[in-house]
Structure 1
Amino acid sequence: MMEPVIRIDGSGADPCAGIVRIDWPKAIWNGTMIAGTVAALAVATWQAVLMFLVLTYGTLLVGHSVGMHRMMIHRTFRAKPWVARALIYVGTLVGVSGPSGIIRIHDTRDWAQRKAECHDFFAHRAGFWQDLAWNLFSRFEFVRPPRITIEPAISADPFYRFLDVTWRWQQAPLALTLYWAGGWPFVLWGICARVFVSTAGHWSVTYFCHRPDLGTSPGRWLVKDAGIQASNLPGLGLVTYGECWHNNHHAFPESARIGLEPGQVDPGWWVIAALERLDLVTAVGKPRGPDAREDLLERESA
């Protein structure tokens, strides 16, 4: 298993002090995707909707869950260079951000949630519609922000730097292909509806998995000193690529497998296990042993 990368320095930073502001490039991008989704409903065909379902599921599973989240952010496995680039490229096509942007979004939120207190922007306490609006249109402006340093393997790689600069434009080649295959219905469903549903869907897992008051399963583990604890969403493993077992993930971010308990379906793990059998990935991480869990408490009822 690879050692985790420490990218964030929170010394002197305050996870509570700051203000939520409109992020205009983000707001315009997601607003355009929403408008395109509304237009897609007017020109829906069964072929376009089927393509949307397959493309959305495939890009989120392979690109975001496996490539960006488990490999790039948490380094739970090592892939051959061409495999890693392919996975992160597919993750970029999800349409949320480029590689460095995804790391900054994830690591900042994770840092804030592991503090004793954090702003509602990170704690998801603002309510469903407010939190969704923040996720789609806004950013958090810290009074004293943490410092994030992305490792050179990402920040100095010409391909990943190119994706960071052009991530929105990466939809264009796909849009041309979709237009050739099925005209405007394919473009609207394959680009606009897919990006909007992917962004909102990714947010929804994050929202519900950090709101135990909404009836989610608390899971087996408590992370010591963390103000925000993660929950699980039973029964949703297949449609969330295994990301719904979020309590496990907070406890064992080093593990490539997130669905750790019997019956916890984890399609992301299926993909990683298949890549390992093909000798395309190595150093696949497992949960650390009982002698290295001093940061965890196990619930008595588990």
Structure 2
Amino acid sequence: MTTLTRASAASRGGAKPVLDGRRPPGESALVYIFTLVPTFALLAAVPMAWGWALSWTDIGLAVGFYLLSAFGVTVGFHRHFTHRAFKANRGLRAGLAIAGSMALQGDVITWVADHRRHHAFSDKEGDPHSPWLFGTTPAALAKGFFHAHLGWLFGKDRTNAARFTPDLLADRDIARVSRLFPLWTVISLVAPALLGGLITMSFWGAVTAFFWAGLVRVAVLHHVTWSINSICHMVGERPFAAQGKATNFWPLAILSLGESWHNLHHADPTCARHGVRPGQIDLSARLIQAFEKLGWARDVRWPTPARLAKLDVAS
């Protein structure tokens, strides 16, 4: 983001600035590590899966840890902490923050601050990862796609948490979970290896589980999440008039656990279900519904007919 962009963004919507200085070098280095190492593992996964180094144990662990960390992001980081689509009891709230941290997409406060900023400036100057910031020519859109999907992560500017997440900073439980992000990172990568080794009773089982259920799982979830920022702001349907250019992209519905019904989300950000039309699978909403039945979640903002009637249908 340019100096002009930083200054103009800081002048909008409140006294506190949008940005909070620059990332320290150590934090920037960790972003590169958490982004590139799992991606390289994903590239190596194709030859490794060709007849060796992949077992049903690896697949089971990878799916299990994917669901744990992905629901932590979609239900926890996104729908609960960012948009307050439901209230959670203390145990569920802490559990969702930890599970989302295991996705290795940053600590809960940083993630939520970036995403609230995204909604405050959706597809406009100040949006940290809009694909539409560089123009509409083919070259500009290609640059924008890369920026939205991956490039923005390497920026030096840091979103001001004091402006966008004062509620989380004041929550002692969540602030503690946020500070312990390095611990959740270690657990996210080491736990699959320990389980793989114990299940197979072999060192090789631990190695392959670390690779598939650790690194590859993290990489797949990274790219699915990043695709919501890139693909779901460029390609797909826009049945509702929404802030920005958010779209619905059905091929990602299962892997994203319902997050790719992104057009409705930007039309009604606090809604607990994103897939509101028949046939729109939203596994995250199903999990919230289960939490509600168990008494762990309450005041869920479901998409009632009256609520949907208030949304503008895109022309």
Q: TM-score range by the shorter chain?
A: 0.7 to 0.9
Q: Give the match for residue 231 of structure 2.
A: 208
* The 10-residue stretch of structure 1 (256-265 or 178-187) with the greater mean CA deviation from structure 2: 178-187
Deviations 1:151-198 (A, max 9, x none): 34x213333223322313313234443223221111122222122221
Q: Of Structure 1 and Structure 2, which has the larger fraction of its residues in strand?
A: 1
Match among 81, 100, 106 for residue 72 of structure 1: 81
* Amino acid corresponding to residue 215 of structure 2 in structure 1: C
Cα 1:239–1:121 shift into 2, 3 Å: closer
CA distance in 2, matches of 1:10, 1:128: 22
The residue that corresponds to 2:299 in the other structure is: 283
CA distance in 2, matches of 1:156, 1:202: 27
Matched, 1:217 2:231: no
Is residue 207 of structure 2 the alignment partner of residue 198 of structure 1? Answer: no
- The residue matched to 1:160 in structure 2 has which SS? helix
1:188 is matched with which residue?
211
1:228-287 Cα shifts (integer Å, max 9, x gaps):
221101254222211111111111112111111111111111111111111111100134
Name the CA shift for 1:12/1:271 in 2 (closer, same or farther; >3 Å).
same
C-alpha separation in 2, matches of 1:121 and 1:108: 10
Q: Is 1:54–2:75 an aligned residue pair?
A: no
Deviations 1:201-253 (A, max 9, x none): 100122111004xxx112x2113xx4x22110125422221111111111111
The percent identity for this pair of structures is 22
In 1, the alpha carbon distance for the partners of 2:179 and 2:214 equals: 19
Structure 1 position 261 matched with structure 2 position 312: no
What displacement does 1:51 show?
1.9
> SS in structure 1 opposite 2:155?
strand
Q: Which runs of 5+ in 1 are unaligned?
A: 1-8, 15-19
Q: Which stretches in structure 2 are left out of the alignment for 5+ residues?
A: 1-7, 14-21, 133-140, 197-205
Q: Normalising by the residue count of structure 2, what TM-score does the alignment of the two structures yield?
A: 0.75
Give CA-to-partner distance per residue, 1:71-102, whole Å, 9 cap, x none: 11110111111111111111111110111011
The amino acid across from 2:89 in the alignment is K
Contact 1:222 1:299 in 2 (8 A): yes
Matches within 5 A, 1:55-134: 55-60=65-70, 62-113=71-122, 115=124, 121-124=129-132, 125=141, 126-129=143-146, 131-134=148-151
Kindly tell me the number of residue pairs found equivalent between the two proteins: 274
Matched, 1:252 2:268: yes
Contact 1:209–1:231 at 8 Å: present in 2 too?
A: yes
Shift of 1:291: 10
Corresponding letter in the other structure for 1:123: P
Structure 2: how far apart are the matches of 1:178 and 1:290? 42
Q: Is the 8 A contact 1:95 1:195 kept in 2?
A: yes
8 Å Cα contact 1:74-1:253 kept in structure 2: yes
Code of the aligned partner of 1:163: V
Structure 1 position 27, deviation (Å): 1.2
What's the offset of the Cα at 1:69?
Answer: 0.8
Contact 2:169 2:175 in 1 (8 A): yes
- Give me the CA root mean square deviation: 3.3
